[in-house]
Amino acid sequence: MITSETKIQVRYDEVDKMGYVYHGNYARYFHISRTDLLRKVGICDKELESQNIILPVIEISIKYLKPVFYDDFITIRTKLLEMPEIRIKFQHEVINQHNEIINVASSTMVFVDVNTRKPMIVPEILHSKIESYLKHNDQ
Amino acid sequence: MITSETKIQVRYDEVDKMGYVYHGNYARYFHISRTDLLRKVGICDKELESQNIILPVIEISIKYLKPVFYDDFITIRTKLLEMPEIRIKFQHEVINQHNEIINVASSTMVFVDVNTRKPMIVPEILHSKIESYLKHNDQ
Amino acid sequence: MITSETKIQVRYDEVDKMGYVYHGNYARYFHISRTDLLRKVGICDKELESQNIILPVIEISIKYLKPVFYDDFITIRTKLLEMPEIRIKFQHEVINQHNEIINVASSTMVFVDVNTRKPMIVPEILHSKIESYLKHNDQ
Amino acid sequence: MITSETKIQVRYDEVDKMGYVYHGNYARYFHISRTDLLRKVGICDKELESQNIILPVIEISIKYLKPVFYDDFITIRTKLLEMPEIRIKFQHEVINQHNEIINVASSTMVFVDVNTRKPMIVPEILHSKIESYLKHNDQ
């Protein structure tokens, strides 16, 4: 439905003593890429937060296929395949500079009202922004 | 088969602007807890590394149920349910100081020869240590 | 005036590809140790925050003498040498399991009112807790 | 002598519960910026490491003037003011998108031979690259 790509160069502090990007750091990369996808659609997570809506992650799953090394250039390809209702689910792929698939993953978030700390349905603005984006970009 | 518990107090730098432990940090907690379980059995990952055997993670999956806050005391309960062959798979649960389950997860690692960077079968020492541990501790 | 010691075992994700604790991570260790010293005196930074008082760091300075490795046991010795007025300044030393000094550092924080985001003088509660602590513990 | 600028957009996981970039993270930003400056001169730290030369940090000092927030665009301006002999010292400034100075810092590294783990004098290649860079760029 909607695809976004984020390019990242691996930082020194992201690599462990095996010389690989520390496996826990991919969750951070996926986060950056989700933010980029939402921004492309016209939604800024910072603005949602200023409206007291936060998006905690409720599920993440990663299959690691190959390591990534310091200074490597990677692409995080993130897809939103379904219109979000009470959850928003993303598919992720990390690809290195040799066009090899490094890992595949998915992550799911919910929308939470900061004041009640309870889940809420997806904000209307998100639906309308996604529909508007899809109308103007046939993918 | 083998259960181990690790107690951690949440650090300031582990919490995000929502006031929750950043979701990517649980992978780090599970890592600490796996190391503790292996140590309990008599295996030290540092010694394996000095023998040129590393244990990269090939799969991780986390379901987040509740948030954890700064300064909270959490317990990471990690279980090894099956004798490892070419993979070693752990089950994890995070429990907070109110005895609530915070999240459930699993993680899988392989054994890799540093020189060839190829996967290898589980080192014999690991089998014998696990068997010896089980003989002396009926769980 | 007041000394506190915090013991930490180095985590895998804290070590870089040189095999050393990443130099940026010591700021995190000092933070934990400052919190421990304040807790010893009877001040909890979490409670200060719930009273809308935050303590941003305004200065940090570290001299690194020796590296620390994965799994090492280190002690962070933190000292408060002067009664805080508008700033609170700590001295730090990291010592490893062989009793070697790893690095020496200092860090300074101010007290900020969350609502105005302006610095404020040190909360009265902090003075009285420190005086009370000193009366009961001649160091 | 040589100035380099690195532009970074603040990531969600780099911000603490005060809503500020966690103070310990600036050491990571300075690291990225040092690497960029050296790359501009023609030196790649990855290549030095493959020649068994590592560059541990021996001193860092940071004065924090203003906070930086999530999603902010910052510039890390790094300067090398003196020809390195046994140490290489950098000056840093972080500037935000409103052109405000966020903090000022310095960091010093030494060159260490991986095999002996002893400090060494600055590699000849670094001198000649810096001289060559200066000849072609009068700053």
Q: Are residues A100 and A25 in contact, defined by beta-carbon separation less than 8 angstroms? A: no
Query: What does the alpha-carbon distance between residue A32 and residue A11 come to, in Å, rounded to a whole number?
Result: 14
Region of C99 on the Ramachandran plot (φ > 0 left; ψ -120 to 50 alpha; else beta): left
- pLDDT tens digits, one per residue of C83-106: 999 999 999 999 999 999 999 999
Question: Do the bridges between strand A57-64 and strand A118-120 make them parallel or antiparallel, or are there none, so unpaired?
Answer: unpaired
pLDDT at B138: 63
Tell which C residues from 83 to 122 touch B, by Cβ distance under 8 Å: none
Partners of residue C92 on adjacent β-strands: C78, C105
Q: What are phi and psi of A135, to 5 degrees?
A: -60, -40
CA-based nearest residue in chain A for residue C70: A17
Residue C30 lies in a domain: yes
CA-based nearest residue in chain D for residue C29: D24
Picking from B24, B54, B56, the nearest residue to A28 by CB comes out as B24
CA-based nearest residue in chain C for residue A24: C13
Residue C139 lies in a domain: no
Residue scoring higher pLDDT (A12 or C137): A12
Sign, CA dihedral A99-A102-A106-A107, equals: negative
Residue C101 lies in a domain: yes
Question: Do the bridges between strand C57-64 and strand D57-64 make them parallel or antiparallel, or are there none, so unpaired?
Answer: antiparallel
Residues A29, A72, D106: CA angle, nearest 5 degrees:
85
The residue type at C61: S
Tell which D residues from 42 to 81 touch B, by Cβ distance under 8 Å: 70
Tell me whether residues D19 and B17 touch, CB distance under 8 A: yes
Residue A29 has pLDDT above 70, yes or no: yes
List of chain C residues whose C-beta atoms are within 8 Å of the C-beta of residue D24: 24-25, 27-28, 31
Orientation of helix D124-136 relative to helix D26-41, angle to 10°: 70
CA-based nearest residue in chain D for residue A39: D71
Mean pLDDT of chain C: 95
Coil/strand/helix, residue C11: coil
Q: DSSP letter string over C34-76?
A: HHHHHHHHT--HHHHHHTTEE--EEEEEEEE-S--BTT-EEEE
Please report which confidence band the pLDDT of residue B137 belongs to, taking 50, 70 and 90 as the band edges: confident
Q: In whole angstroms, how far apart are CA A57 and each of A31, B62, B103, D119? A: 9, 10, 11, 45
Tell me whether residues A12 and C12 touch, CB distance under 8 A: no
List of chain C residues whose C-beta atoms are within 8 Å of the C-beta of residue D65: 58
Region of A104 on the Ramachandran plot (φ > 0 left; ψ -120 to 50 alpha; else beta): beta
Residue C136 lies in a domain: no
Tell me whether residues C16 and A19 touch, CB distance under 8 A: no
Q: Report, as an integer, the average pLDDT of D65-77.
A: 97
Choose, out of A13, A17, A18, the residue to mutate when testing the contact with C (most C CBs < 10 Å). A17
Write the ipTM.
0.95
Residue D59 has pLDDT above 80, yes or no: yes
Tell me whether residues C31 and D20 touch, CB distance under 8 A: no
Coil/strand/helix, residue A22: coil
Tell me whether residues D24 and C28 touch, CB distance under 8 A: yes
Region of D109 on the Ramachandran plot (φ > 0 left; ψ -120 to 50 alpha; else beta): beta
Residue C60 lies in a domain: yes
- pLDDT tens digits, one per residue of B11-23: 999 999 999 999 9
- pLDDT tens digits, one per residue of C13-52: 999 999 999 999 999 999 999 999 999 999 999 999 999 9
| DSSP category for residue C128 | H
Residue A91 has pLDDT above 90, yes or no: yes
User: How big is chain B, counted in residues?
Assistant: 139
Residue C137 lies in a domain: no
Residue C102 lies in a domain: yes
Q: Are residues A24 and B31 in contact, defined by beta-carbon separation less than 8 angstroms? A: yes
The neighbours of chain A, by the rule of 3 or more Cβ pairs under 8 Å, are B, C, D
Quickly tell me which residue has 């604790």 as its tokens. Answer: C21
**pLDDT exceeding 70 applies to what percent of chain B?**
99
User: How big is chain D, counted in residues?
Assistant: 139
> Could you tell me the two tokens for D54?
């590592």
- pLDDT tens digits, one per residue of B23-78: 999 999 999 999 999 999 999 999 999 999 999 999 999 999 999 999 999 999 99
Q: Which domain holds residue C7?
A: 2-131
List of chain A residues whose C-beta atoms are within 8 Å of the C-beta of residue D28: 11, 13
pLDDT at A110: 95
Q: Are residues B92 and B115 in contact, defined by beta-carbon separation less than 8 angstroms? A: no
Picking from C54, C58, C64, the nearest residue to D18 by CB comes out as C54
Please report which confidence band the pLDDT of residue A139 belongs to, taking 50, 70 and 90 as the band edges: low
Query: What does the alpha-carbon distance between residue B71 and residue C44 come to, in Å, rounded to a whole number?
Result: 10
pLDDT at D137: 86
> Could you tell me the two tokens for B26?
């649980």
> Could you tell me the two tokens for B125?
């020492």
> How many angstroms separate the CA of residue B27 from the nearest CA in chain A?
5
CA-based nearest residue in chain C for residue B39: C71
> Could you tell me the two tokens for A69?
């090394």
Orientation of helix B124-136 relative to helix B26-41, angle to 10°: 70
Q: Are residues C35 and B12 in contact, defined by beta-carbon separation less than 8 angstroms? A: yes
Q: Report, as an integer, the average pLDDT of A1-14.
A: 97
Query: What does the alpha-carbon distance between residue D80 and residue B103 come to, in Å, rounded to a whole number?
Result: 47
Query: What does the alpha-carbon distance between residue A87 and residue C127 come to, in Å, rounded to a whole number?
Result: 49
- pLDDT tens digits, one per residue of A103-137: 999 999 999 999 998 999 988 889 999 999 999 88
- pLDDT tens digits, one per residue of C114-129: 999 899 998 888 999 9
Tell me whether residues D61 and C62 touch, CB distance under 8 A: yes
pLDDT at B70: 97
Residue C68 has pLDDT above 70, yes or no: yes
In angstroms, how far apart are the furthest CA atoms of chain C? 47
The H or E element that residue C2 is part of is: strand C2-9
pLDDT at A113: 93
pTM: 0.96
- The CATH number of whichever domain residue D124 belongs to comes to 3.10.129.10
Helical spans, DSSP H, in chain D: 26-41, 45-50, 124-136
Q: Report, as an integer, the average pLDDT of A64-75.
A: 97
pLDDT at C139: 53
| DSSP category for residue A98 | T
Tell me whether residues C44 and B70 touch, CB distance under 8 A: no
Q: Are residues D62 and D102 in contact, defined by beta-carbon separation less than 8 angstroms? A: no
How many domains are contained in chain C? 1
Lowest mean pLDDT among A123-127, B31-35, C55-59, D86-90: A123-127
